[in-house]
Amino acid sequence: MPFEKAPCVDPGRVAQPGLLAKREGTQEVRIVRDRGLPAWSLLISIDGAPVAEFWEGEALALWLPPGRHVLKCQRRTRTDKALPFHSAAELDAGSSSLLELEVAPESRPCVRLAIIGSRPKPFRLDLPP
């Protein structure tokens, strides 16, 4: 799903709203989640701190300082999607992936979030400056 056509993550699922505002010395990092598998959300953490929970087809632009950042993508069962035959803890066990992200001045990184099989997978794509 193109970033420009994706709806934004609901503000109630953003843990660090301060990363949504451009500040001097920061670079934009775009994150967009693919459509599909609506029973799961993807919780994104950056450098160990939770940032936002993405539902299918949602996007968010974050402003990060240049440097190396570790993005963790963790699959979680959505509380509004009942799955009576498995517990959420059972479904969510061992379901995360890491992406090392280098944010350089004048770069425009974009991260695509997908679920491959049952594992979350972040992919880095670079946009032209």
Neighbours of 31 (CB within 10 A): 26
Quick check: pTM over 0.85?
Answer: no
Q: What is the pLDDT of residue 118?
A: 65
Q: Give the pLDDT confidence of 22-32 residue by residue, as tens digits.
A: 999 999 999 99
Q: Position 33: which residue type? A: R
Structural domain boundaries in the chain: 3-126
Termini Cα distance of the chain: 20
Segment 118-122 shows an average pLDDT of 69
Q: Residue 20 corresponds to which tokens in the numbers above?
A: 């949504």
DSSP designation for 89: H
Q: What is the pLDDT of residue 82?
A: 56
Q: What is the pLDDT of residue 88?
A: 47
> For residues 112 and 96, what is the distance between their CA atoms, to the nearest angstrom?
15
59 by Cβ neighbours in 10 Å (0-12 / 13-18 / 19+) ranks as buried
Q: Give the pLDDT confidence of 75-118 residue by residue, as tens digits.
A: 877 766 655 554 544 444 457 788 888 888 877 788 888 777 66
Q: What is the pLDDT of residue 90?
A: 46
Least confident of 32-36, 46-50, 58-62: 32-36
pLDDT higher than threshold 70 for residue 127: no
9 contacts 52 by C-beta, under 8 angstroms: yes
Q: What is the pLDDT of residue 128?
A: 54
What CATH class is the domain 3-126? mainly beta
